[in-house]
Every structure is written in structure tokens, then in C-alpha cells.
Amino acid sequence: MRGRAWDPNSPEVKKIQQYEFRRKNLSRAQRAALIVVLVLQIPLGLLFVHLPAMRAVMAMGITTITLAMATLITLFLFFDRD
């Protein structure tokens, strides 16, 4: 019993290529968001140096998460545009 012949123009192949393209774009956005967050840690630390330790830690955590998610979403939408 033989399977179907490989048709590069079939809808199934297009769907797989689109899925791989989307995963690649998400991976690129994650990598860039990580770099942005790591680069901004020192300026954020200097920005919150005047706060008490507990507030500074909470502020660093909140701003880090917010920046990471905003960067990830923005870059994914930028990379994944048609």
C-alpha cells in the first residue's frame, strides 16, 4: 500500500510551513526579549537604588516581567506580520 505523493502546494504542507514559521518567529521574539531584559537590569537597578530594599526588589520584579512580556508580544507581532 502506497501513501500519497508529496505535493509541496497542498494545504497540509502550507499549514506545516506556516506553523514552523510561527514557531521560529516566537523563538526569535523570546531570544530578543531575554536580551532586552538582561540589558535593562543594570539601569533598572540604578533607577530603584533610592528605594528601601524590599520595595526595590518588588519594583525590579514587576518592571522586569512587564518589560519582558511587552517586548515579547511586540516583537512576536512584528516578526509574524504578513
Residue 1 has pLDDT above 60, yes or no: no
Residue 5 has pLDDT above 80, yes or no: no
DSSP letter (8 states) at residue 4: P
- pLDDT tier, 59 (very low <50, low <70, confident <90, very high otherwise): very high
Which residues have a Cβ under 8 Å from the Cβ of 37 and sit 6 or more positions away?
64, 67, 68, 71
- pTM value > 0.85: no
